[in-house]
Amino acid sequence: MNNNDFEFIRKFINDQAAIVLDPGKEYLVESRLAPVAKESGFSSLDELINEIKSRPTDELKMKVVDSITINETLFFRDTHPFEVLKKTILPELLSKKVNKTLNIWCAAASSGQEPYTIAMILKDLKESLGNWKINFLASDISDKMITRARSGIYNQLEVNRGLPAQYLVKYFEKNGSHWQIKEEIRTMVNFQKINLKNPWSISQMDLIFMRNVLIYFSVETKKEIFKRVGATLHPDGYFFLGGSETTLGISNDFERIGIDKVPCYKLKK
């Protein structure tokens, strides 16, 4: 891949998804786009790139963005945030919410492991939840990932990565060589396509998980996203980022708090 083509793809991905590809990642782009070229019927990577430059269909644009987007995820990723959610944050929110409605948004949900982790935790608290209404939105930019997440089907390696055995036994069913999350968990989560680069129109949220995605955005894009998160988060709500992410130096709307050494964010009063 020559430098001009790489710079074109960098700009294309940034325009479509606000993802920043660092210089020197030509090898990554080539390895991700080669399968797209093959399955789309192009004889070479050059032919694919020329098509993107001239007359790309929406389907082809999405395939290219999907191929570059990082989809690394696992159940109970980092563990501690979910322990704090179960032991501290959810009980606090349940004690404060007089309307018995809990609104949750898990952004950049990829293939669904994170929202399903939260859904299983909520199911464990069913006695506390009683007749509560749970509105649970999970979103991703990728149509492919949303379709996969809705199916709730995972291979043996995926359920071996981070998922405690008791959850596998309790909330999954064997489906050939794969495992499928039970319908009672799948129906708790509403998967939708949302591109974080663009303004969104969703209800006020008590919990927002936006973990391990902002690291791929520019500072300016992060500022815009944090501003919109601030307008979406309930005054008593909690905002979770990935371990290497922060609002510090980017947004003044949030205060960082630590619960059992787990960082999360609330709106400043």
- Binding residues for S-adenosyl-L-methionine, by number, are 71, 73, 77, 114, 140, 195-196, 211-212
Cα–Cα distances (Å) from 202 to 90, 98, 104, 175, 232, in that order, read 21, 21, 11, 34, 8
192 closest CA partner among 149, 152, 160, 221: 149
Q: Which two tokens stand for residue 173?
A: 């069913």
The beta-carbon contacts of 115-118 under 8 Å, at least 24 apart in sequence, are 115/149, 115/189, 115/191, 115/209, 116/75, 116/152, 116/181, 116/185, 116/186, 116/189, 117/75, 117/76, 117/77, 117/82, 118/82, 118/85, 118/207, 118/209
Q: Please state, in angstroms and rounded to a whole number, the distance separating the CA atoms of residues 269 and 161.
A: 39
Q: Which two tokens stand for residue 81?
A: 């945030």
Q: Please state, in angstroms and rounded to a whole number, the distance separating the CA atoms of residues 106 and 138.
A: 5
* Residue 34 phi, psi dihedral angles, 5° rounding: -55, -45
Three-state DSSP at 93 gives: helix
166 closest CA partner among 125, 124, 129: 124
Binding residues: 71, 73, 77, 114, 140, 195-196, 211-212
